Every structure is written in C-alpha cells, then in structure tokens.
Structure 1
Amino acid sequence: MSWRAGRRRTPLPHVSRTAIFLPTLAGVLACGLVALQSVEASAQASDKGALELVDPDVFRACGDPRNLPFSNEKGEGFENKLAELFANKLGKKLSYTYFPQATGFVRMTLGSYRCDIIMGFPQGDDQAQVTIPYYRTTYVMVTKRGSGLEDVTEIGDPRLKDKRIGVVAGTPPSTNMAINGLFARAKSYPLFIDTRADSSAQAMMDDLARGDIDCGILWGPMAGYYASKADPPFVVIPLIKETTGPQMTFRIGMAVRPADQELKRTLNKLIMENQQEINKLLISYNIPILDGTNTPITGETLSKRP
C-alpha cells in the first residue's frame, strides 16, 4: 500500500535565514536590482506559464517507480498513460521523477521542484493544491465467485460475521470493521511500505487466491486492477452503502504546488475536455469509477452517454 490510503502533513522546503543575509548595503541594492529585472522578465513570460515552471516546455510528472496500476518506471500505469496524453495535448515533452509513495513523497517531489504534477491526489488533502477531480472511486470488497458473498454491499452484512477478512491497517474500512466486531478473524496488511519491495494489495490477492482469507477490503483502483489479474477474475463490489464510520468514497485530481495557479487552470481545462477519454483509460485498467450518484461508470454505460 502507499501514502494514497492515508494522509500525512508534509511541509514544503523553506529558505535558510543564513542564505538570505546580506552583509552590506551595496549587496542589498545589487540584489534588489537583479530581483527587479528577474520579476520583469518573469512577468513577460507569465502568459506561457514560465513564471511557475522550471521548464515550461516539459510536462514534468511525479510518480512511484513500482506502484501499479498507478505508475511504474516502465510507464505501464494509468497515471503514466494519462501524463502521456496530457503532454501530447500540450505539445510538450514528458519527463518523470520517481520516488516511493510513502512518507516524504510530496516533499521530495513537488516540494523539491523535481517535478510539477502528481498525477493522482485526493481532494481534501492539504499537502498540495488539487485540480478538479478526474475520477471518483471508493473502497471495495473483493471475493471469489461462488463464495456466497458476491452481493454483499455493506461491511455490516451479517454474512461477514464469521469470515476471514483482509484489510489494510489504518484505512477507513478498518474503522467500520471494528464497529461491526469483525477483527477477531481479520488479517491485517501494512499501510506504509516501500513499494519497490512489497505490495499489500498483491499480498491480499494472493491470500484470497489460496483461500487464506474469504474476502478482502481494499482501495478500489488497486482492487480492481489486481482482481482482474486472478484466474478466474475476482468479484469487486463497491462499498457505497456505508452509513457509519469515516468517508470511503473520494474524488481524485492532480496535485501541483500552491503557487502554480496557471498550471492548475491548464490541467482543469484538459480534464474537462478529455473526460471521456480519461474514463475509457481508467476502465481499461479495471478501475471502479463512480458518477455523482454512486452509479458505476462502465464501458457499457460510457458508450450510451452523449
């Protein structure tokens, strides 16, 4: 699992006080003149976004090197493909900065100016500025066909009372499991891991395939992707009927630095203009996506939309 399932407040880097100390008045005046010239030059270039970006000709995305279905170093994740799409739309080159999505991810990517855009970020997280959402998803339950649990839609369903349930520790559904007394036979998986060496989602799916657990409760994008890889594929049930416990459905956008207003506006426009193509991309990775009424968006329903 990664930082996506939990929240961390990560401070942006600051300038050392010793770095801005000037020993003489002449130094102050010289610095002020240079700064004024720099501001004037930046203002002239601001229409192209150069005021905000390290390299305005490159779409510089931030990602995890080993965290499918989101991203990997081979460019196989849906966030990789979305970055390619947007870079092409803008006529820019694409570059990626990879860092494991654990504690320090925002600080070591956006905060360090190594890249400009985190391709997937939940709205409401205050570590960065977030665009309008490009998909809405939820935690889901995953089980085998023939388990008798295929139509369970709530964690409080009585059929789960004696089941062995897999859950990632510290995620929202673990609270609902505790409320319903389901931890006696539960199997817990770690929330914060180094994705270069481990995957809680894959471990849960492996346990389900072996019969070590009867079902798993997992973040929707990871569940949908890994469940589709099983043979036969597992059943994925969105948990959209929960009435107690914490929020389990989230809107996902892209994150930029707080100062990058023009970039945010550009991304918002791209999302609105390409939503159908984005939906098709997500569905191709078996990501469970929902509309505003919690109705699943599928390839079939997408084809019926104007």
Structure 2
Amino acid sequence: MTPAHLRRWLAPPVLAIALVVASDREAAWAQVPREVLRQAPGQAQGQGSGQSQDGLDLSIELVDPKVLRVCADPHNLPFSNEKGEGFENKIAELFAEKLQKKLDYMFFPQATGFVRVTLGSHRCDLIMGFPQGDDLVQVTNPYYRTAYALVTKSGSDLAEVTTLGDPRLKTKRIGIVAGTPPGTDMAANGLMGNARPYPLMIDTRIDSSAEAMIKDISSGAVDAGVLWGPMAGYYAKKSDPPLRVVPLVKETAGPKLAYRIGMGVRYADQNWKRQLNRLIQDSQGDINKILLDFGVPLLDDNDRPITAQSSTKPP
C-alpha cells in the first residue's frame, strides 16, 4: 500500500472516517469552527524568544514560538475533538506543559485538503498523528504502534480467534469499514460473502461507523468486527460489558495491518522536528499511559502487546 493510500485509510489523522462529501465541500468546511484556544493545565508563561529550552532556534519555523499550535479534527474521538477529550488532545496538553507553552488549536475536518489548509498554510505547526512512510509531511519518530483489530464478545465461540484465516469465522457475520485494508484479508479468506459493510465517508459530527459497529457486536447483529486499533480499543472499552480486542498481527496475505504513528511537521521545520523527537523519547511512558487509558492496543516492534507494566517501552 502506498503512503497516499495509507492517508486515506488512516486518520486523524489515522483512520479516514471524514466529513461526508458535499456538492460544495469548501462551503461545508467553512461552517466548521476553525480555532479554539485551549490552555494547558499548569502552564508557565511562554518563552520570550524563539529559542527552545534545548537551544534550538524555532523563531523562523513556528507560527508563534510561544504557542503550541496543533492541527486537529474537531469531531473525531478517540483522537481529538473541540472539547479536548481525545487522546491526541491529552498528548498535546502534556507537550504544552513540558514546553511551557500555551496550547492553541487550528480545527479542520480530516478530509481532502486537511494538510494544505492547516499545516501547509502555517495556521498550525503540528499534526498529532501521522503514519510513518507518508511523504505528504515530515514525520517524527513514532510515538506508538498499533494495528487493525478483531473485536468480539468475551466468552463467545470467537473469543480465542486471533487471525482472519481461522475457520471459525467462515459462517460468521463480520463488520468491516468499507475500503479499509483488512477488507483485502477478509476477501482472501472468503469472508466477504457474509460481511456487513459500514461507510468510510460519514459526517463525524453526527455519526460514527466505529461506534455503530461496536453496538451491533454487542447486540448480536454481527458476530465480530474489524476496526482500526485505537477505535476498536476505545469503543470496546466503553461497551457494557467490554468487548475483546485482538490486534491482527498474524495475517500473512494482503496489506500490512500494523503501523507506526508519528507526528507531522513541515519539511522545512528541522529544529522543531528534533525537539519533538526528544520530547517523544523523554515522554514515552506518559504517552503510553494516555494511550492505554483510552484502550489503544499498543504493540512493540515484535508485535507483542505493551501493557501498563511495560508502558515505558518505545514503539
């Protein structure tokens, strides 16, 4: 899969469940609030110059060296929203506090033109989640690694299934977000005949394909579902009772289903990238704790789960 395809399937920016395509897309975007000022808890006054704490000159790279300006989607939990309730919001707050900066958002829907309108137009300086290998922006070192996951009821006859090639799935109704990479694996294993598709392109202000799939699994309308890991973990954890989430790391056919996620900056912003890389390294334990609190299934490079007990390991 090419980086361009990856941008389409992963969003905010990692799973591209975006605003519905309108006849006048620009007019639709214009109605979305663009900026909300949010101040990090416990922040100190912004630095008086463009020098970062480690001596890097950021004055010519950042919109405002005294402010951490983040590009984000206003309606895209568990990643971000205008209320600051997503895990990318929480990581941004953590970084703002460590950098002793105010936190400011440039909100814009995760749809075509997101990078151009936000980071590319110097309206903000950082996209909190971006897949490594994408060339649309310069990507930092990864701060987490996760995968698409199979979601089932705990205690069901599918509770021990760990791969889409398991014969126990052959006659089951499986939910899949249309057009996402696991669909290829499902087709290769003959699972599409009974599959239930959920739309990729929706209006995230009023709808969520991930949430709808989780509700259908809980009610028995479908037997299992395949979702991007952060969404699977978040909504499965909120379900009552919680659902079982198994990262799909044993697939042998089709596109890879595990990805490293970093942060996106402009190609010219070399000092800013270096500072973020150091910040990610120094904050990895805190970052992992935030992600685990949101149910994100974290993986190390050997596809082993990262737990609260091992949460200081880098991705």
Q: TM-score range by the shorter chain?
A: 0.7 to 0.9
Deviation at residue 216 of structure 1 after TM alignment: 0.3
Identity of counterpart residues, as a percentage? 62
Matches within 5 A, 1:234-249: 234-249=243-258
Name the amino acid aligned to 1:225.
Y
Question: Are 1:122 and 2:127 counterparts?
Answer: no
Give the whole-Å Cα distance in 1 for the aligned partners of 2:143 and 2:111: 23
Q: Do the aligned partners of residues 72 and 297 (structure 1) sit closer, same or farther apart at CA in structure 2, a change above 3 Å counting?
A: same
Name the amino acid aligned to 1:221.
P
> Which structure: greater helix fraction?
1
1:191-250 deviation digits (Å, cap 9, x = unpaired):
232322221111111111221100000000000000001110000011110111101000
Match of 1:170 among 179, 186, 193: 179
Match of 1:96 among 105, 109, 113: 105
The equivalent of 2:149 in structure 1 is 140
Name the amino acid aligned to 2:162.
T
Give the whole-Å Cα distance in 2 for the aligned partners of 1:47 and 1:300: 34
Matches within 5 A, 1:1-306: 3=11, 4-5=14-15, 47-302=56-311
Name the amino acid aligned to 1:181.
G
TM-score (norm 1): 0.84
1:135-190 deviation digits (Å, cap 9, x = unpaired):
00000000111221111111111000000000011111000011111111101112
Is the radius of gyration larger for structure 1 or structure 2? 1
Structure 1, unaligned runs of 5 or more: 8-42
Q: Do the aligned partners of residues 97 and 303 (structure 1) sit closer, same or farther apart at CA in structure 2, a change above 3 Å counting?
A: closer
Give the whole-Å Cα distance in 1 for the aligned partners of 2:51 and 2:275: 18
Which portions of structure 1, spanning 4 or more consecutive aligned residues, are displaced by more than 4 angstroms?
A: 43-47
Contact 1:121 1:130 survives alignment (8 Å)? yes
Give the whole-Å Cα distance in 2 for the aligned partners of 1:217 and 1:258: 34
Structure 2, unaligned runs of 5 or more: 1-8, 18-49
Instruction: Report the aligned-residue RMSD.
Output: 2.4
Give the whole-Å Cα distance in 1 for the aligned partners of 2:252 and 2:184: 12
